[in-house]
Structure 1
Amino acid sequence: MTALTDVYTLANGIQIPKVGFGTWQMAPEDATPAVENAIALGYRHIDTALVYGNERAVGFGIRNSDVKREDLFVTSKLPAETKDYDGALRDFETTMANLELDYLDLYLIHAPWPWREMGGNYDTQNRDVWRAMEEIYASGRVKAIGVSNFNVHDLQNVFKDAKVKPMVDQIQYYVGYTEPTITQFAQEQGLLVEAYSPLATGGILNNQVLNGLAAHYGVSIAQLAIQFCVQNGVLPLPKATSRDHIANNAQLNFEISDADMAKMNALTGTRN
């Protein structure tokens, strides 16, 4: 069983709600009402990014809620294309201006390489950017810092010069695609792994095995997939725009058996 008020504790002692609300691929006109609904329905962890183009809308939804800022956990991300110290500081200021918030709870490097050069080697640049992330963290305007889409090599590279290690690695993670090498390494190093696209952008919703398991527990595949992440010690970031789906994703009042968790962890090719 997982409640939206349940938390993980990051390496620096900061508490982070175990289930977040993702806004990737969410248009600004959809983001504000979606965030407002999510907060009204009990979500306390909101995730966005500068590259999503919806920070202003997300920030408005947060400020328009009846929940105090200190009771919310807000994450944003430095664009993957930004690979220099000065650019990182500049883009952070842009994010803060967009959100119109006094501080962020978590700030992440969105990827180890620019999206147009996926897989490229930016080791030197990532260490330079991490120096900026540490400066932002030291300012007190961000409570925790981390990375996204970093593999083992990328993490080890940042560790070389880091005075403050990343506290989070946000990766694509869903039933049938759990990145075990990255996940195990990150967790062994004290990082919390976050799962974006825990429903594989809807790609797992027609899987027959998962349909059978969901029926067994009397839940939706979405609920099953989200709970699967939590029981693996991973933080899911489901996205939805309709109020009904937002509410449904939060109903996690069940527990997957050890045997079924083993079965789900062994699955591959679940995405249609």
Structure 2
Amino acid sequence: MNSINDCYTLNNGTSLPCFGFGTYNEKDGDNLEIIRTAIRTGYRFFDTASIYETERVLGQAIKESGIPREEFFIESKLWIDEMGYENAKRAFEATLDRLQMDYLDLYLIHWPRQTGDENENWKELDLETWRALEDLHAEGKIRSLGCSNFLPHHLDNLLSGCKIKPVVDQLELHPGYSQEAAVSYLLAHDIRPMAWSPLGRGRENALAGNAFLAKLAKKYQKSIPQINLRFLLQKGIIPIPKASTEAHMKSNMDIFDFSISEEDMWIMTCMPQTTWLGEHPDFYIPTRKSNPEQ
């Protein structure tokens, strides 16, 4: 991979850029202008979701850019209260309407379980929702299907009853939370891992001040965020970082002119757990009110 627009070939033969741009709602920023800037900077793969409330401005920014729709790779996700066969179809059509598009490149189930242990029929609900996505795919409205926050046992259930295999799975992935078991499962099943929150997140982001990462930044003459993104890239994981300024957007892209050594990669992989956001698909019950990043 030599640039953000170099692509992986997915298990269905389609191409997916190796680096994306996250559009989770910037509460203190102008989302429309941020996305306009990202497009001008060169980003073409954009990740959104119904719960982010950025689909409308993403569609507007793309339309205003004058760049043909087919030059973009657009991905969105349906939320947990949009699961079920009919619900999923309605949610998808609402997403298309907000984006002002007639198809999506990739559509994901956002979370595998609705209400944690209280929802014992999650396996049936996942398969029912997936059938809706498969039907939309058959209609030519979705080019690829995927998952977000699905762990191996969630994917085992899906793979046991699906006609179309997921092409990607989004997980919280970064140094200090590399989820090696889940990533190994994905790679073994030819499902491309994708990283949300690849730079860590929160006011007390321990990655930003980590002494070892600071040492690597000095060694490779890069910033800590660039080290974190390069780490993921070398592991075959697609990062989808957010950025609110052009300087940060360009800095995040500047990770293709160096390599992290094998020894340093192992040390980063085996770092103690750091900056885990605390959202787990089996033990955390997200709601629209909580409005999590993923």
TM-score higher than 0.5 here? yes
Amino acid at match of 2:271: L
Would the aligned equivalents of 1:47 and 1:75 in 2 still touch at CA under 8 Å? yes
Q: Which residue of 2 aligns with 1:214?
A: 217
Amino acid at match of 1:124: E
Would the aligned equivalents of 1:81 and 1:113 in 2 still touch at CA under 8 Å? no
Matched, 1:151 2:151: yes
Q: Aligned partners of 1:25 and 1:178: how far apart in 2?
A: 24
Matches within 5 A, 1:163-242: 163-201=163-201, 203=205, 204-242=207-245
What is the CA-CA distance between 1:29 and the residue it aligns to? Answer: 6.1
Q: Which residue of 1 aligns with 2:250?
A: 247
Matches within 5 A, 1:1-272: 2-27=2-27, 30-114=30-114, 117-118=115-116, 120-121=119-120, 122-201=122-201, 203=205, 204-252=207-255, 253-271=257-275
Amino acid at match of 1:63: K
SS across alignment from 1:26: coil
- 1:46-102 Cα distance to aligned partner (Å, 9 max, x none): 000001111101111122224321111110001122221000000000000000012
How many correspondences in the alignment? 270
- Change in Cα spacing, 1:127 to 1:74, as seen in structure 2 (3 Å) is same
Amino acid at match of 2:161: D
Q: Which residue of 1 aligns with 2:290?
A: none
**TM-score, normalised relative to structure 2:** 0.88
Would the aligned equivalents of 2:25 and 2:31 in 1 still touch at CA under 8 Å? no
Q: Aligned partners of 2:89 and 2:156: how far apart in 1?
A: 23
Q: Aligned partners of 2:25 and 2:100: how far apart in 1?
A: 21
Q: Aligned partners of 2:234 and 2:96: how far apart in 1?
A: 33
SS across alignment from 1:77: strand
What is the CA-CA distance between 1:183 and the residue it aligns to? Answer: 0.9
SS across alignment from 1:201: coil
Q: Aligned partners of 2:66 and 2:252: how far apart in 1?
A: 21
Would the aligned equivalents of 1:2 and 1:254 in 2 still touch at CA under 8 Å? no
Output the aligned Cα RMSD.
1.6
Would the aligned equivalents of 1:207 and 1:271 in 2 still touch at CA under 8 Å? no
- Change in Cα spacing, 1:118 to 1:36, as seen in structure 2 (3 Å) is farther
What is the CA-CA distance between 1:152 and the residue it aligns to? Answer: 0.8
Gaps of 5+ in 1: none
Q: Which runs of 4+ in 1 moved over 6 A?
A: none
- Change in Cα spacing, 1:168 to 1:87, as seen in structure 2 (3 Å) is same
Would the aligned equivalents of 2:106 and 2:146 in 1 still touch at CA under 8 Å? yes
- Change in Cα spacing, 1:93 to 1:28, as seen in structure 2 (3 Å) is farther
- Change in Cα spacing, 1:82 to 1:242, as seen in structure 2 (3 Å) is same
Would the aligned equivalents of 1:173 and 1:179 in 2 still touch at CA under 8 Å? yes
Q: Aligned partners of 1:27 and 1:118: how far apart in 2?
A: 28
Would the aligned equivalents of 1:194 and 1:235 in 2 still touch at CA under 8 Å? yes
Q: Aligned partners of 2:138 and 2:30: how far apart in 1?
A: 34
What is the CA-CA distance between 1:32 and the residue it aligns to? Answer: 1.4
Give the stretch that moved more between structures: 57-66 or 22-31.
22-31
